[in-house]
Amino acid sequence: MSGVLKINITESEETLKKLLIDQKIGKKKERIQILYLIKTHQAETVGHLAAVTGRHRVTISRWLSQYREGGLDRLLEIGKSPGRTPLISEEVKEKLNQELSDPEGFDSYKEIQQWLRSVHDVEASYYTVHKTVRYQLKSKLKIPRPVNIKQEKGAVETFKKTPRSN
């Protein structure tokens, strides 16, 4: 008969039921549920398990293969994607932070973009540079804007002398 499961589940029905009740993480609960359904003979084929759980038959087959390879521990192992590597590395961020703390520093994010391109050969968009400087390094480019004609003479120089980072 095609699709009949050939798997030996070592855990008892009671153990699986207790694990199913105690499980807080949904992804793990689904995986234990398929074992429980097989053990209690509520599902006989991968197709039936897929219909009952709402998962694709290939997913169910992959889970059962994981169980065959390493038991319950391997089945309940949920991998985490490492994610995309950052465009601006930690070393470059440290050097950028040093440059930002320099009194002369940078006047604009475009200038930082050019510095990254020329010194570190990093091609970063304006948005990436802004996000890195402003939110990751917690720094601001302090450039005084003309506000008022009646502004005090020393206010601009005082503003420029204050530290650049928060």
- At 135, the amino acid letter reads Y
131/89 Cα distance (integer angstroms): 14
User: Measured between alpha carbons, how far is residue 159 from residues 46, 83, 153, 162, 166 in Å?
Assistant: 70, 40, 11, 6, 14
Q: What is the mean pLDDT of residues 143-148?
A: 66
pLDDT digits (tens, 9 = 90+) for 87-96: 999 999 999 9
Residue 103 pLDDT: 76
Angle, in degrees to the nearest 10, between helices 13-22 and 26-39: 160
Using 50, 70 and 90 to split pLDDT, how confident is the model at 1?
very low
* Non-local CB neighbours of 23 within 8 Å, separated by 6+ positions: 29, 32
Q: What is the mean pLDDT of the chain?
A: 87
16-19-25 Cα angle (round to 5): 130
Whole-model pTM: value is: 0.54
Give the start-to-end residue ranges of the domains of the chain: 13-75, 90-161
Q: Please say whether the dihedral angle defined by the alpha carbons of residues 35, 40, 46 and 52, taken in this order, is positive or negative.
A: negative
Q: How many residues does the chain have?
A: 166
